[in-house]
Structure 1
C-alpha cells in the first residue's frame, strides 16, 4: 500500500481526498495544512508544517493542493525528500521560479483532464496541428475571488486558474515560438483584480495559431473544450465540463475522481524510473504555457465596462 501525503485541505484538497479514498493501492497517511478549510477524515494525522510530516510519514506520493504562492516550494521540499510529487495547476504563476532544480524531475503538474479518453494516443503521437481553439465558459461570482484569489500577483487570472487545462494542452500539441499576441481582457463585475473574460489570438512559428476565449460570467451550462484543426484537413474536438470527455462521447466521460486516480498511478510509475505516461505534465514543461500566459496578460487591452456581461 502506497502512502500519500496531502498538502492543502481547502476546496481542491477536498477533491483529492475524495479521489484518494477510492484509489486502489493508496492510503492517505497524513494531511498538511495550518488552517484546514475542509472537514478532515477521522483517524488521519494532520500537521501544520510539511517537513515534520515528511519526517514522520515518509510518503511515497505527495499531492500538493496549496495556492500558487506556496505550491512550488512545497513540491520541491517533498521531491528533495525523495517522494514522487503531484502539484495542482498552475503550481506557480512566476515563470522565473521554474529555473531548473535537481529535484524537479520528481515533480509533475496536475492536469487530470489530459488523461481523458483518446488523449493518450494524441499526446504519444502528436499530429500536425495548424490551429487550436480553446473555449471556456463557466460561472464564478465575486465571493469566489477571496483570500489569495483576490490579486493577480497571488493567483493570476482566468488563464492561470480556469483555462489553463485547455491552453496547456493546445500548446503541447503546437510547437514553436509565439510570434504575435492580440488580446483583450474585459472587467465588468468587480472580481477583485480578475477579469470576467479574456480573448487572445496567438500566432506561432510556421503560421500556426491558437485562439482563446475564456470567460467566468457565463449563465449557461459550464464547458471547456479544445477544437484542433489538423494539417491533413481533419478536426478533433476535445469536449466536456473540463475536457474530461476527451475525444469520446461526453455521455461516457470518466469522472474527475477516475481521472485523478489515473494521474496518481502515472506519477508513481514515473518515479520508479519507468517511461513517463504521455499524458503526464512534467514541471519543466510548465514553463512554456506560463510564458505564453504572461505575455498575453502583458499585452492585453484592458476594457472596463459598466454593465454585466451577457451570457
Structure 2
C-alpha cells in the first residue's frame, strides 16, 4: 500500500480528515454509476472486520454522522458519469484502471484507529495490492493508495483542526470575504420542513439558498466541536441566531450560479437534487465581533467570517441530505 501524507497519528493530531482511497477492481465487471449507498455499507462492513472499536463507536446514538462516504468515482468524463447517473446505466470496471472513494472522518480519535487498522490489514494480508480490501455491491476491490495530502492535485483531500479553521476565517479581511463560491460536486438537496407551519410536510429543496445551507452548517459546527473537551469552547465562535438574522435581512444573497437539476438512483427510490456552482455575496454591514468565547480560544469572528468558517467546515462534513451516502460533497473555491 502506498500512502501520501498519511502520517503516523502520533506525529499530528487533527480533528477533521478527508481521505482518498484509490481502488482497483479484482476483475472486470460493472457497477451502478451512483454507488454511495453501497460504498457506505462496504465501508461499515470493512470497519466491522478491521476496526470493530471504530465501528462500535459509529453506531452509538447518532454517531454515524461522524463520517461521510462518496460514491465510487470513475476515471471518466464528468458529463458521461452524470448521464449514466440520471439513467441509472451501469458503468464498466476494469482491473487496468483505478477508481476512487472519498472518506471524511469528523472526529479526531477515529483516524488513529483507521490508521492502525490499515497497518494491521497490510501486515496480515502481506500485500494490500494483492488482497481483497472492500466489496462494493458484487465487485471486489484492492487498495492501491491512501491519499491525505492537502497538496494533492484533485484538491479533495486534507486534514485540519477546528482551531485552525477558525484562525483561517479570522484572518479574512472585509474586502476579501464578500464573495464566496461553493462547488456542489455530487448530488445535493436539503430535506426541509417549515417549522412555523408543518401542514404541507417536508420537501426536497433543489436550490442552495442561504437559509437551507448555513443554519444547518452552524448546527454541525456546534455538534462536532462538542465531541471533545478541548474543542467545546469553540462552539461559541459560531452564533446561529446572528447568522439566521443576517440571512433574514438578506445579508447574504446569491450573486451568480451555474446549477443544474440532477437525479441519482438509490435502491428504493430516485433522488432529485442539483449539482454545480453557486456564488454568494456577503453584504454589509458586517455585525461586530462577539467577545472571544474564552481566553484559551482567543478568537472572535464577524458574521461574514463565521459564514466562511462554515464553508471551510463543509469541505469535510458536506451539506444537506445523506452525506454519509455520497450526497452533498462541496468545497469553497
TM-score range, shorter chain: under 0.3
TM-score normalized by structure 2? 0.22
RCO higher in 1 or 2 (8 Å CA, sep ≥ 6)?
Answer: 2
